Amino acid sequence: LSESYSRSARVYDLIYGDEHTARIKDYAAEAKELDAIIRARNPSARTLLDVACGTGVHLALLRGRYSVEGADLSPQMLAVAARRLPGVPLHQADMRSLALGRTYDVVTCLFSSIGYVTDADDLVTAIGRLAQHLSAGGVLIIDGWVRPDAWQDGYRADPESGSDGVTDVVRLAATRREGQITTLDMHHLVRTAAGIEHVAERHVMRLVPTSEHVAAFEAAGLRTEVLPQSMPGRDRIVGLRPR
Ligand SMILES: C[S@@+](CC[C@H](N)C(=O)[O-])C[C@H]1O[C@@H](n2cnc3c(N)ncnc32)[C@H](O)[C@@H]1O
C-alpha cells in the first residue's frame, strides 16, 4: 500500500469532481457557501489560505474573490494544484508545523483533511498553527471528518468511478474503525492507453468529537461556532480571531 495521495493524486478529481463537474463533491456549491460564511463574518476579507488544499479546486473557485494561496503535505497533490492554478503560491507544508511567516484574512482546511492528524496533542498544535496564520478579524473554517457518533461500522460504499475520456478510474474502499482510528484502504484501477494499473493506498484518520475541535479553537483564542456540512455526519467549525 502506498502513502496517502502519492499515487492517487492524478485521479483524485475524476473521483471527487472539480470546478466544472460535480461528482462525489459539488465544489462550486461549496465555494459559494464558504464565501457567504466568510462575508457574513468579515466582509472586508481579501486574502485566503487553504491548508491541505489538495488539487486546489476550492482555490480555483475562490481566487476570483480572494487573493489565494495553498499549502499541502503531498507533493503529488500540489503538482496537480500547480497545473490548475498558475501564479498561485503553493507551499509544501505539514499543518502541524505550518509557519508561512504571514497572516491571512481567511484560513480554511476542508474536506476532512484535519482527520489525518491522528494524535490528540498534534490536533491542538495544528489548529493553533492555523489560527496563528489569521489576521485580526480573520476567519478559520475547518471541515471535520465524520463525527464519532455518525460512523457506521460495516458500511460498504458502492464502487466509485470517473473518466475524462483519456483516463478511467474505478475505486473500491474497505474501511474499519478501532476506537477513534479509522483505516480506509482505497483500491483504484486506472486505465489509460498504456494499460490498467492497480493503485492501492491506506488512509488513516481519527474520528474527533466536535467538542474537541471547539476546545482547540477556543484554546487558540478564537470565538467559535459549529455549522453543518453538506456531507452528512460531519461538522464545520468556524472561528473568528477577535480584532
Ligand atoms: C481529502 S483530501 C482534501 C483535499 C482538498 N482540501 C479538497 O477539498 O479536495 C486531504 C488532503 O489533506 C492533505 N494532508 C493530509 N495530512 C496533512 C498534513 N498533516 N498537513 C497538510 N496537508 C495534509 C493530503 O495531502 C490531501 O491533499
- Express each pLDDT in 34-45 by its tens digit: 999 999 999 999
Q: What is the DSSP string of the chain?
A: -BPTTTTTGGGHHHHHB-SS-BSSS-HHHHHHHHHHHHHHH-TT--EEEEET-TT-HHHHHHTTTSEEEEEES-HHHHHHHHHHSTT--EEE--GGG---SS-EEEEEE-TTGGGG--SHHHHHHHHHHHHHTEEEEEEEEEEEEE-GGG--TT--PPPEEEE-SS-EEEEEEEEEEETTEEEEEEEEEEEETTEEEEEEEEEEEE---HHHHHHHHHHTT-EEEEEE-SSTTEEEEEEE---
94 CA closest ligand 1 atom index: 20
126 CA closest ligand 1 atom index: 19
Beta bridge partners of 67: 47
Task: Identify which of 111, 77, 115 has the alpha carbon closest to the alpha carbon of residue 204.
Answer: 115
**Confidence bin at 58 (pLDDT 50/70/90):** very high
Q: How far is the CA of 44 from the centre of ligand 1 (A)?
A: 27
Q: How far is the CA of 113 from the centre of ligand 1 (A)?
A: 5
Beta bridge partners of 143: 236
Q: Is the pLDDT of residue 76 over 90?
A: yes
Q: Is the pLDDT of residue 2 over 90?
A: no
pTM: 0.98
Q: How far is the CA of 41 from the centre of ligand 1 (A)?
A: 25
5 CA closest ligand 1 atom index: 25
Q: How far is the CA of 137 from the centre of ligand 1 (A)?
A: 25
Ligand 1 mutation pick, 72, 76, 203, max ligand atoms within 8 A of CB: 72
Q: How far is the CA of 74 from the centre of ligand 1 (A)?
A: 8
State the pLDDT at residue 3. Answer: 87
pLDDT digits (tens, 9 = 90+) for 108-155: 999 999 999 999 999 999 999 999 999 999 999 999 999 999 999 999
Length reported for the chain: 243
Which residue's C-alpha cell is 503531498? 74
